[in-house]
Structures are given as structure tokens and as C-alpha cells.
Amino acid sequence: MTGPTVAVPQLSLSDLDSEANEAAIRDRAASLPEAVDIAIFPEYALTGFVADSRAYSGAVTRDHATEFLTSVAADNEFDVLAGYLERDGDALYNAAAYVRPDGTTDVYRKRHLWGDEASVVTPGEELVVVDTPAGKTGLLTCYDLNFVADSAALTDERIDALFVVGAWPAAHSENWRLLCRARALDGVRWLVGAGRTGGGTIPGAAETEYAGRSLVVRPDGVVAAALNRDERDLVWTLDRDVLDEQREFVGSVE
């Protein structure tokens, strides 16, 4: 196989406790195989989240998030993608930072907010495409998967992979799996989805159990590898030949 190796360290989070989450991320990253080129952590991985005013106490600045992730990337010599709650002045964003060992960074802000999240978080405005070892790669966060227009726009960008950070409710986990498969298939690209597992940890907040179910989907919509809800690592190589063969088969890319 020829192509980059991606890892999804599926984990539970401590809501509004960045120190605990950063320690967990650092430990899980250090335990990954040497062959890994990209490690992908779930939505709000650095900070956790709660959909009320307490969210402000757990948010971090972009500089804090990217400096921490750069240190993880540099220590382990692979790229890192992770979600976090970003504080920018008086606004909060559901952000995901793609960081390389040399410190270069791209940040995506979730555009489609789910439920009560919209009462606290400001939506982002732009789709983001980054250069990764997997080729041109689109970044999405959780509920963004539902929006076919975004998938079509990323198809127009001729991306080779989608990286999706998520915190999908366990009660709707089949929808997560279905949408990940659809978004891989309708754009003929690899998709890697990193899901939060475990449950919410803030007293008085709505109780949520998260799906986990991190997965890798081939460009033909077939699930190549997947986890259930355990805190385990999913490691897979995104074979460039598989992508080229599927695109030739369907004639979707010149």
C-alpha cells in the first residue's frame, strides 16, 4: 500500500478541563506507532463543551490551542488535528486546528451548529481545505456531515480526503456511520471520522452519551475499519491506489 497512515485515538473527555484533556491527548499521541503520519482527535478534544454560559470558563485562545498541538506534533513527528472551544474576544467558536511539526497551522470553525450549541457558539463562515500527507483534505465537524452542499463544494475543490472531528450522540450513532459513508462516496475520497466516546461530565448539564464509532471509509463508501465505544486507537493507511482506482471506475475526476 502507498499512502499516509492515519491514527484516531478515540477517547472520552473532561468537559471544561483543558489540562486533563491535554494530558490525555499527549499520552495517547505518544503511544501511537512510529509509522503514523497524522493523528486525529475528536470535536472539542482540548476543552470539552457544555451548552450554557459555563462554556466561557473552559474555552481557550487559538494561540493556546495551536501552541499545545504544535508541541504534540513536534514531539511525535506527525501532523495533528484536534477540536477545541475557541475564545476570540467575546465570541466562542467550535474550532478544529490542523497543526504540523513545524508549527504551520490551519483552523476550521464549524459552520453548522447543533441544537443548544447555537445558543453559545458563533458559526464559522468558510470551508477549509488543507494540504496533508493524504493530499488536499477538507475539514468538517460533526453536524456538518448533514449538509450536502458543503460536500459538493469540497468535491469541486477536488479533495482527496475528508477529516471529520465529531461528538455524535450515541442514540443516533447509525446516522453518523451512514453520513460518513455517504460523504466519502459522493465525493469519491477517503474519509476519516474521529468520534468522542464516554459521557458528559458537567453536573446539571443535559446528560449525553457519545457514540465513539470512529471509522475510516474508502472512496467507494465501504467502511474499511471502525471502532465501537472503547478508548482504543484506530490506525489505517489511506492507500492512494484505492483512491485512483475508484475514481477511474466512476469517472468522477479527470
The CATH number of domain 5-250 is 3.40.50.300: no
For 29, other C-beta atoms within 10 Å of its C-beta total 21
Query: Which pLDDT score, from 0 to 100, does residue 1 have?
Result: 64
Assigned C-alpha cell, 244: 485512483
Q: Which residues contact 166 (CB under 8 A, 6 or more apart)?
A: 42, 43, 141, 142, 145, 176, 193, 194, 195, 196, 211
Average pLDDT along the chain:
95
Kindly give the residue spans of alpha helices, DSSP state H, lying in 87-171: 148-156
Question: Which positions ≥6 away from 216 have C-beta within 8 Å?
Answer: 6, 8, 190, 191, 192, 193, 223, 224, 225, 226, 234, 236, 238
Q: What is the pLDDT of residues 157-181, one digit of tens each?
A: 999 999 999 999 999 999 999 999 9
Which secondary structure element, helix H or strand E, spans residue 215, and what is its range?
strand 215-217
Please give the share of the chain, as a percent, with pLDDT higher than 90: 94
DSSP-derived 3-state class of residue 138: strand
> How far is the C-alpha of 69 from the C-alpha of 56, rounded, in Å?
21
For 112-133, how does the pLDDT look when each residue is reduced to its tens digit (9 = 90+)?
999 999 999 999 999 999 999 9
The whole model's pTM is what? 0.96
Q: Can you give the residue ranges of every domain in the chain?
A: 5-250
